[in-house]
Amino acid sequence: MKMEFSAAQVATMLGGKVEGDPDVRVWNVARIEDGAPGMLSFLSNMKYAHYIYDTKSSVVLVNDDFAPTAPVKATMIRVPDAYESFAQLLAVYQEYTNNKVGVSQLAFVSDDAEYGENCYIGEFAFIGNRVRLGKNVKIYPQAYIGDDAVVGDNTVVYAGVKIYAMTHIGKNCIVHSGAVLGADGFGFVPQPDGTYKKIPQIGNVLIGDNVEIGANTTIDRSTMDSTKIHDGVKLDNLIQIAHNVELGENTVIAAQSGVAGSAHLGKNCVVAGQVGISGHLHIADRTTFGAQTGVMGGVNEPGKMLMGSPAYDYKTYLRDTVRQRNIPKLEKRIAELEKKLETLLSK
């Protein structure tokens, strides 16, 4: 599917001002250094400013305050924030290309399932009993939606996603391929003979509005009550969220991180890659964890930046890292001082 716009039309969409040919047309996007005729690029980082004078792109978005030092062949569109405007255009393009509607004859939809207008249900998707899908929901091929699940308006569920029974997903969410929502939590009781008896997991998963869940991320159902992912949370690929966890609004977690059972993270927390958070902890709002942090205790004061394992103050961690790198030098100096001391004592 091909979208084609003139520079004037792009400027109108973004509230920008055209400098150059308003009728030049673009139909795809490219990095400014890789531009070609018909491409639209952007310049926001002045580190790349030299590319604008030679780029082959037809149109380049620039910030209002950009002052070229040589002639620019491409048509420029001045906007308050070129990066944000470029992201806005990508969103329009994605909405256009993903605007699928209709139910495939190869999909299975239970007789008592409900779906709103403009829905798309792709080939070999499975929609269970009493499922409710809102308006403009997109269910891509081979996705599984279990009994009594709810998916809110404008939510996209990509191919191969597994949504277990009773999972509730809000509006304007994105669930990427391979994600599993609502699998059993890891709950077992040790037995006298050394075996483990499974604890039934009878709760569910509640996902708020405007949540994005990355590919192959897993969110377990609670033992009782709900595992809760609040509005605006963004989860990267390959993340494990255990049973009874609660993630506060607008918290973001990067890839390969894990949150153990019954941990509660506050609002606007930032969790970098490969972070491990122990269970039953309370993490205050606006806490930031650096990459590979091991979180073994709760955080009561909002706005803390922590790193290391076990986690402690970020700035102190950086100073300690410098000290550790100097240990070989210190060892050498100590050895030299010991030799000098032995020489003095021998005299």
pLDDT digit string (tens) for 274-313? Answer: 999 999 999 999 999 999 999 999 999 999 999 999 999 9
pLDDT-derived band at 343 (thresholds 50, 70, 90) equals confident
227-238: average pLDDT: 98
In 3-state terms, what secondary structure has residue 336? helix
Mean residue pLDDT across the chain = 95
Q: Can you give the pLDDT at residue 1?
A: 46
Given the residues 50, 176, 243, 264, select the one marked as catalytic: 243
- The answer to whether 213 touches 235, Cβ cutoff 8 Å, is yes
pLDDT digits (tens, 9 = 90+) for 128-165: 999 999 999 999 999 999 999 999 999 999 999 999 99
**Residue 135 CA, distance from chain mean position:** 24
pLDDT digits (tens, 9 = 90+) for 197-207: 999 999 999 99
pLDDT score of 170 more than 70: yes
pLDDT score of 2 more than 70: no
What the block records as the tokens of 267 is 């609002």
Q: Residue 40 burial by CB count (10 A; 0-12/13-18/19+): exposed, middle or buried?
A: buried
Q: What residue spans define the domains of the chain? A: 5-97, 102-317
Residues 6+ apart with CB under 8 A from 192: none
d(CA 315, CA 281): 23
What the block records as the tokens of 255 is 């890839």
15-27: average pLDDT: 96
Single out the residue of 56, 58, 51 nearest to residue 66, CA to CA.
51
Beta strands in 50-136 (DSSP E): 59-63, 75-79, 102-103, 108-109, 114-115, 120-121, 126-127, 132-133
**Count helices and strands in the chain by DSSP H and E runs:** 4, 40
d(CA 159, CA 125): 8
Residues 6+ apart with CB under 8 A from 310: 294, 295, 296, 297
What the block records as the tokens of 82 is 């070129």
H-only helix segments in 244-326: 314-325
- The answer to whether 169 touches 175, Cβ cutoff 8 Å, is yes
Q: Can you give the pLDDT at residue 91?
A: 84
Pairing, β 270-271 against β 288-289: parallel
Single out the residue of 123, 152, 159, 148 nearest to residue 135, CA to CA.
152
Single out the residue of 201, 279, 197 nearest to residue 246, CA to CA.
279
d(CA 57, CA 55): 5
238-256: average pLDDT: 98
CA angle centred on 188, ends 183 and 193, rounded to 5°:
145
Pairing, β 312-313 against β 305-307: antiparallel
Active-site annotation holds for 280: no
60-88: average pLDDT: 96
Pairing, β 75-79 against β 234-235: unpaired
d(CA 161, CA 53): 45
CATH placement of domain 5-97 = 3.40.1390.10
CATH placement of domain 102-317 = 2.160.10.10
Residues 6+ apart with CB under 8 A from 39: 26, 28, 29, 30, 56, 57, 58, 59
Q: What percent of the chain has pLDDT over 90?
A: 89
Q: Can you give the pLDDT at residue 209?
A: 98
H-only helix segments in the chain: 7-14, 82-97, 314-325, 327-346
